[in-house]
């Protein structure tokens, strides 16, 4: 039997699959418990001919519920009948590892329940920086023929493989419970970003107590459903604020921008390949369900009846790429209307549209820029600030860029783009481990002079060596004048 598989997270699924309870391999398999070393195999989505399935696996250490096994390893498909049937090809699917590490599964139906023995073999299995090396080979015993809906992602998700109570069994196997949990978690994360109260650990603690209460009270399905829905409504109140005199909610605005938007899952109804094209992360992964992983909405006094929206769209919440958009939505008698929906670029429009979601010490962030940027006596420019930073190399660097637009009856037109801050660390003396630490900051000032009916703007900048704790020193002011429908550096 040949298995299509991804370790711990499963990104690749078989084509033409059919979940068949009759397939002897399919099901949830486990060994050990939380008081000893343990692990699981999840074999699902087997094809009708039984030759191809998807498998996720992990192991964990004594006293730990955290998924510590092979989170980044991918297992690739091999030819039918090949021995061993699985070939681990490298970190996140890279092929450099070749066949140097293989995983072999041996099915034993003679015992009841049946077992699968999993083992690693090869000269180069050390790249799997997880506990699997110390726990395999191991005998996994069939725990459930019905696939678990809850993905083993958070600290207590291993309880599906450790707790056989009826309540937890329902929680693990019912698709409705998994959907409610995903919606609860997504909204809870967004509520935390807005209010900075209630961490993920707080949510997990609430969920643990809720599961225990529902298991003891009876009527577990109804109890868990009502608890999740009450929390979802609580999070909605925090996340989906109301605008335009309380007449419009944030989810209505997002629904106007994305026709298929689901406030429970944050999915837009579209697919994205934003993370599927990087060769450094293995073979292309194809398109995935697109989600609104970050959004901000604001009203402005100078645009009555309008809201402005900033979004990051991706299939994941952190550590991966996203595409950003800046939108203007207008309230009319017939309802909401999207006036503009502009992509956000890291550099000039000819550059990549992809932003980096915050992870570790790197990422991108978006904020509104709604100060009094006067174009003339009746119009103001407005837009956003894009900040990017990276500190993963030992030398921090980053920059902050402002992008401003003019709203015309026809469209939203970009009129200005400039760097307002930068931080660049580079090695000055690598042997002595010293480096320069230069940073700059700037402000945009509206001048009283006029060109072509529009006020001139100035960018006043200062720099300093942060490492040397030097004073800020001004540099030459840059003047921008209106030309051909936008601000141009004077003299250019």
For the stretch 220-231, pLDDT in tens is 889 999 999 999
pLDDT reading at 425 higher than 50: yes
Q: Which of 158, 238, 161 is nearest to 194 (CA)?
A: 238
Q: Which of 51-60, 207-216, 452-461 has the lowest mean pLDDT?
A: 51-60
Phi-psi region of 78 (alpha: psi -120 to 50; beta: other; left: phi over 0): beta
User: How far apart are the C-alpha atoms of 313 and 268, rounded to whole Å?
Assistant: 9
Query: What's residue 78's pLDDT?
Result: 34
Position with higher pLDDT, 238 vs 441: 441
Please state the φ and ψ torsions of residue 426, each to the nearest 5 degrees: -140, 155
CA distances from 311 to 201, 326, 419 (A): 26, 7, 21
pLDDT at 395 over 70: no
> Would you say residue 454 has pLDDT above 80?
yes
Neighbour-count burial of 43, counting CB atoms closer than 10 A to its CB (0-12 exposed, 13-18 middle, 19+ buried): buried
Instruction: Report residue 94's pLDDT band, with 50, 70 and 90 as the boundaries.
Output: very low
Question: What is the pLDDT at residue 351?
Answer: 59
Residue 375: pLDDT above 60?
yes
Compute the average pLDDT of residues 288-299. Answer: 89
* pLDDT value for 13: 30
Domain ranges of the chain: 5-149, 177-239, 246-419
The answer, yes or no, to whether residue 93 has pLDDT greater than 60, is no
pLDDT for the residue 450: 94
SS3 162: coil
Sign (positive or negative) of CA dihedral 132, 134, 140, 146: negative
Q: For residue 388, what are the CA distances in angstroms to 308, 309, 313, 370, 382?
A: 21, 19, 16, 20, 20
Q: How confident is the model at residue 263 (pLDDT cuts 50, 70, 90)?
A: confident
Residue 252: its pLDDT value, please?
A: 92
For the cut 60, the answer to whether the pLDDT of residue 322 exceeds it is: yes
Check pLDDT > 50 for residue 236: yes
- Residue-level pLDDT at 12: 30
pLDDT digits (tens, 9 = 90+) for 404-420: 999 988 789 999 999 88
Calculate the average pLDDT of the chain. 76
Closest CA to 207 of 153, 161, 267: 153
Average pLDDT over residues 428-438: 60
What lies within 8 Å, CB to CB, of 23 at 6+ separation is 46, 50, 53
Whole-model pTM? Answer: 0.63
Cα separation, 364 vs 380, in Å, equals 26
Looking at residue 30, its pLDDT comes to: 87
Residue 157 predicted with pLDDT over 80: no
How far lies 438's CA from each of 286, 361, 388, 449, 464, in Å? 41, 19, 16, 33, 6
How much is the pLDDT for 89? 42
Which range, 13-17, 57-61, 125-129, 445-449, is most confident?
445-449
pLDDT, residue 233, reads 87
**Given a cut of 50, is residue 477 above it in pLDDT?**
yes
pLDDT of residue 215: 87
Weakest-pLDDT range from 107-111, 156-160, 260-264: 156-160
pLDDT value, residue 52 = 65
Confidence at residue 152, expressed as pLDDT on a 0 to 100 scale: 52
Given pLDDT bands bounded at 50, 70 and 90, which one contains residue 198? low
For residue 69, what pLDDT band results from cuts at 50, 70 and 90? very low
Which range of 48-62, 71-85, 197-211, 253-267 scores highest in mean pLDDT? It is: 253-267
Out of 92-96, 173-177, 450-454, give the one with best mean pLDDT.
450-454
Token pair belonging to 298: 């604001």
């Amino acid at each position: 039997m040949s298995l299509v598989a991804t370790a711990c997270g499963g990104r690749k699924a078989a084509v033409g699959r059919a979940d068949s309870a009759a397939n002897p391999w399919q099901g949830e398999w486990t060994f050990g418990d939380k008081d000893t070393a343990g692990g699981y195999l999840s074999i699902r989505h087997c094809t009708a001919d039984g030759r191809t399935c998807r498998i996720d696996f992990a192991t964990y250490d004594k006293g730990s519920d955290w998924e510590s096994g092979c989170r980044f390893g991918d297992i690739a498909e091999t030819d039918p009948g090949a021995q061993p049937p699985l070939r681990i090809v490298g970190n996140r699917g890279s092929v450099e590892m070749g066949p140097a590490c293989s995983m072999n599964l041996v099915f034993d139906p003679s015992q009841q329940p049946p077992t699968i023995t999993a083992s690693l073999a090869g000269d180069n299995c050390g790249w799997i920086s997880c506990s699997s090396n110390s726990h395999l080979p191991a005998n996994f015993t069939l725990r459930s023929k019905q696939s678990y809906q809850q993905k083993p992602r958070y600290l207590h998700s291993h309880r599906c493989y450790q707790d056989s109570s009826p309540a937890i069994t329902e929680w693990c196997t019912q698709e409705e419970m998994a959907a409610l949990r995903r919606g609860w978690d997504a909204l809870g994360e967004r509520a935390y970003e807005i209010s900075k109260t209630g961490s993920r650990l707080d949510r997990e603690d609430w969920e643990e107590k809720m599961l225990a209460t529902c298991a003891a009270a009876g009527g577990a399905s109804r109890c868990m459903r009502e608890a999740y829905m009450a929390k979802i409504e609580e999070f909605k109140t925090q996340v989906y604020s109301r605008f335009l005199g309380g007449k419009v909610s944030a989810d209505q605005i997002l629904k106007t921008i994305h026709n298929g938007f689901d406030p429970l899952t944050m999915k837009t109804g579209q697919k994205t390949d934003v993370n599927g094209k990087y060769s450094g992360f293995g073979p292309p992964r194809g398109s995935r369900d697109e989600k609104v992983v970050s959004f901000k909405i604001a009203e402005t006094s100078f645009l009555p009846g309008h809201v402005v929206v900033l979004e990051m769209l991706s299939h994941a919440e952190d550590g991966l790429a996203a595409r950003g958009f800046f939108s203007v939505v207008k309230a009319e008698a017939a309802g909401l209307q999207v006036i503009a929906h502009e992509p956000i670029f890291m550099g000039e429009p000819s550059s990549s549209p992809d932003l980096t979601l915050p992870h570790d010490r790197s990422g991108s962030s978006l904020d509104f820029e709604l100060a009094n940027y006067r174009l003339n006596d009746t119009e103001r420019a407005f837009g956003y600030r894009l900040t990017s930073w990276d500190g993963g190399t030992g030398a921090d660097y980053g920059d902050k860029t402002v992008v401003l637009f003019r709203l015309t009856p026809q469209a939203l037109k970009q009129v200005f783009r400039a760097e307002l801050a930068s931080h660049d660390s580079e090695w000055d003396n690598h042997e002595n481990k010293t480096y320069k630490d230069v940073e700059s900051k700037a402000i945009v000032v509206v001048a009283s002079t006029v060109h072509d009916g529009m006020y001139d703007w100035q960018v006043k900048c200062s720099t300093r060596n942060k490492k040397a704790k030097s004073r800020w020193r001004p540099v030459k002011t840059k003047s921008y004048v209106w030309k051909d429908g936008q601000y141009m550096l004077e003299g250019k």
